[in-house]
Chains A and B, each alone.
Chain A
Amino acid sequence: MPERLPDLQQVRYKDFDEAFDRLKTKQSPLWLSNLRTKAMKEFRQIGMPIVRELSFPLKEDWIYTDLKKIGESSYQTNPIGGQVDGNTLGSFEFGDNDWHRLVIINGVYSPENSKLTKLPRGTIISRLSDAIVENPELVHQHLGQYADYRQSGLTALNTALFEDGLFVYLPDGEIVENPIHVHYVTTESEKSLALQPRTLVVTGKSTNLRLVESYSGMTESFYLTNAVTEISVESEGSIDHYRINREGAGAGHLSTTQFHLESNSHISSFNMTLGGELTRNDTNARLAGERSVVRMNGLYLISGSQHVDNHTAIDHVVPNCNSYEVYKGILGGRSRGVFNGKVFVHQDAQETDAKQLNKNLIISSGATIHTKPQLEIYADQVKCTHGATVGQLNEDQIFYLRTRGLSYDMACQLLTYGFAADLISRLQLDAVRSSLDSLLELTIKDLAVA
């Protein structure tokens, strides 16, 4: 249990205390008020994970990512809404008009930019706040069941203070034909916003859906996104999931994503980080049913003074499950990357197949990466592999391309693109794959100059 420094906490989190008081005055089902109260109590006990206040083993998880500045900043916590130019917003979109879209600007639903339709046979794609009113039992049954507020101060904070987000429910056998894009946008504001986006996706047996979550910032000033996403899939279900961070240059982005897989289900997730000044993603999967498969890939492209910390944890609880992780990083400027991949194989989880790979390309002398695989294996019939590489552009490759007529800079950009390209080319959703491919090319050109 992290130690608490009482006086500091009172002062430090007063904005969040005020937010909680404000929420208490709003109408809310009893189960939700109780959940918020418990979560807030937990948050008041443990606060944010600020490394110098933590003891081992939790301290180890935050050793390279210091939340002191984020913890001590003062915030505006009420969702103020905002406007974003249609064309600008459009440039962050994917696919065609058939997609389901939910746009939330500064914590407030933006109907003119969203497209949510009523779906047949019990399928729900809606705002979380609407779902709490229209389907309270359903939300109650699942909200907070996968991402446990007792395990994390940040999850506790989000659970206590979230106001809106995305809710998706698929009954057994249902398929959502068109992909879903939820876009959490933050714009310029007088005082730094602290927002708590919450996404809850619950799918039944033999279901199929494709979901993109975007977190974007239209301002270079500091603000805080503290997001929690819970995605659960029942037997034989399949989810293709994308998460794209294009937060503002000064932003803090903290996220917890929890996947829950039942037997024979499949989740494939791709996590791309481009923006933010400080990003920390905790992406976790619990393989709770046999023969389930989770694929968690990620790409981070950072430069300047950006900091990106990807922590993942995969829990093999039962036998015969597979997990695959490939995270790649391209680091320029004086940026810092952190990767920590945990794999827990419980004693009963025989015939586990877990593969983990983290590859990093450093393109400037000031960038650093800390990478650590962490495998805890308690079963004996398992296949677990892990690998981590850190390298620079290869001089032989650069010379080879120059003898074909490409300039030194062009050669470096092409090689850098080639390093990450295979992760993007594997993406299944065409519209997202082609967008991210262009985004990769463009970002690399900027990285070279940074």
Chain B
Amino acid sequence: MALLEIQGLCGGIRDQEIIKGIDLTINGGEVHAIMGPNGSGKSTFGKILAGHEEYQKTTGEVKFLGKDLFELTPEERANAGMFLAFQYPVEIPGVSNAYFLRAALNERRKYSGQSEMSAGAFRKFMNEKMKLVEMDPDLAKRAVNEDFSGGEKKRNEIFHMAVLEPLLSILDETDSGLDIDALKIVARGVNQQRNDSNAMIVITHYQRLLDYIVPDYVHVMYQGRIVKSGTKELALELESEGYEWIRQEAGE
């Protein structure tokens, strides 16, 4: 069974259709990169999958682990194993990373019929994950993303991902705003979590991230559609040619 099967997905925000027909299948063990110029609909794609209320699908079908994705609330999607790493992670004042991650993890475990993790067991589990993604232990005690630098916020997303062990992670422009060192740490954290059962959708504007998180497939989005798919070589072509030739090929 594929992790994610998308057929003819169209959708957008209010009256504006942004996604105009996407077909995509993602299996366990795969990393798919989604690239494209600004306005191509990359972020909208991620938000529709995660269940953001403002973005609605108009037609099409999406099956997540064989279930109709749009029958599930955002939290059900998360509990079933979907994860969205935000382009602009949100601050949650007054609530520590540790506290809320334990609550989130236990919701996931309850959903799949497992018992909740005690505070002590969770502390141990969390410490292992912090080591895995090279996270500063102090940041776990602090309120989620409050007064975090841009790089710390992005790394915190990867830390959340590590704790929740999702089956399908959507990384929405995780590299935006990061310098090369922060980028390498984020990429290492992501790579540490890759296995044969899970999959990732890496949404990015620049090819640079894909030097570190090497994709199995690269798709180029333009005006709400995937106009070209290939392997990691496609990303290198875009790097040297820019998006202009995509526009030309699409018949502009």
Interface of A toward B, CB cutoff 8 Å: 394-397, 399-408, 410, 414-415, 417-422
Contacts and interface: CB of A to CB of B under 8 A. Distances in A.
Given A399-B74, A400-B86, A418-B143, A406 B103 contact: yes
B120 interface: no
A360 to B, nearest CB: 15
Nearest to A404: B104
Given A415-B95, A419-B94, A421-B94, A402 B107 contact: no
A348 B103 CA distance: 54
A182 B50 CA distance: 52
- Chain A, interface SS category: helix
Nearest to A425: B94
B78 interface: yes
B50 A403 contact: yes
A423 to B, nearest CB: 9
B93 A419 contact: yes
B53 A421 contact: no
A410 B95 contact: no
Contact of A418 (B51, B83, B95): B95
B7 interface: no
B78 A404 contact: yes
**B50, B74, B90, B105: which has the most chain A beta carbons within 10 Å?**
B74
**A414, A417, A419: which has the most chain B beta carbons within 10 Å?**
A414
A445 to B, nearest CB: 13
A291 B85 CA distance: 50
Given A399-B52, A399-B53, A418-B143, A405 B78 contact: yes
Nearest to A422: B94
Interface of B: 50-53, 73-75, 77-79, 82-84, 86, 89-95, 100-101, 103-105, 107-108, 111, 143, 160, 164
A418 B90 contact: no
A405 B95 CA distance: 16
Given A410-B103, A414-B100, A414-B103, A402 B74 contact: yes
Contact of B79 (A401, A405, A419): A405
A399 B172 CA distance: 15
Nearest to B99: A414
Contacts of B100: 401, 404, 406, 414
A442 to B, nearest CB: 16
A397 B107 CA distance: 18
Nearest to A403: B84
A379 to B, nearest CB: 34
Contacts of A394: 90
Given A399-B53, A418-B92, 10 more contacts: A396-B90, A402-B78, A403-B75, A403-B84, A404-B160, A406-B75, A414-B100, A415-B92, A418-B94, A421-B95
A62 B103 CA distance: 44
A420 B74 CA distance: 26
Given A399-B53, A418-B143, A407 B95 contact: no
B42 to A, nearest CB: 17
A417 B94 contact: yes
A405 B50 contact: no
A319 B124 CA distance: 53
A403 B78 contact: yes
Contacts of A404: 78, 83, 100-101, 104, 160, 164
